[in-house]
Amino acid sequence: MVGQYTYILWLTLFVWVPIILMFSYNRQLFHRYKGTMVYCIRGALLFSIPWDFWAIKTHVWYFPSDRIIGVWFFGLPLEEYFFIVFITLEVSMLTLILIKHFESKL
């Protein structure tokens, strides 16, 4: 597709663009709960880094070298750190939007 930037392209389309869109329409909401989102990201990193490390080392999944930038930290490609942080942020943001939506219907 776009060679070593393929994973970055996927993150852009499915993670970063939705985050930017959600943020544009709910800035005050996310500012109010920024501690919540930081907490969730911290928890996700705590669980996901060992999990991902184990999965790569024990041959559960793999990342072809021609689809990633090639920068690795502690056994994981850089893009995986982006995946963990920003997918968590995306889900956390959607959760906050849904909480606000359902509470406004009460």
Partner 1 sequence: MNIHQRSLLINIVIVCVVFAVLWFINFGTFSYIASILLFAGAPIVHLWARDRHLLDRHIKVIFWIIISGLVATLICETIALKWGIWGYYSDSVLGIFVGPAIETFFFSTLAFSAIAGATIRMAHIEDHNRNK
Q: Which residues bind partner 1 (CB under 8 A)?
A: 1, 6-7, 10, 14, 32-33, 35-37, 39-40, 43-44, 46-48, 50-51, 54-55, 58-64, 66-68, 88, 91-92, 94-96, 98-99, 102
Tokens read off for 9? 């392209």
C-alpha 1/C-alpha 106 separation (Å) is: 47
Nearer Cβ to partner 1 (24/58):
58
Three-state SS at 16: helix
* Residue type, position 65, single letter: S
CB of 12 to partner 1, least distance (A): 12
Q: Which residue has the tokens 């930037």?
A: 5
- For residue 75, the minimal CB distance to partner 1 (Å) is 13
- C-beta separation of 77 from 7 below 8 A: yes
CB nearer to partner 1: give 24 or 57: 57
Return d(Cα 104, Cα 106) in angstroms, integer.
6
Residue 96 C-beta: closest distance to partner 1, Å: 6
Residue 81 tokens, joined: 């750190």
Closer residue to partner 1, CB minimum distance, 61 or 74: 61
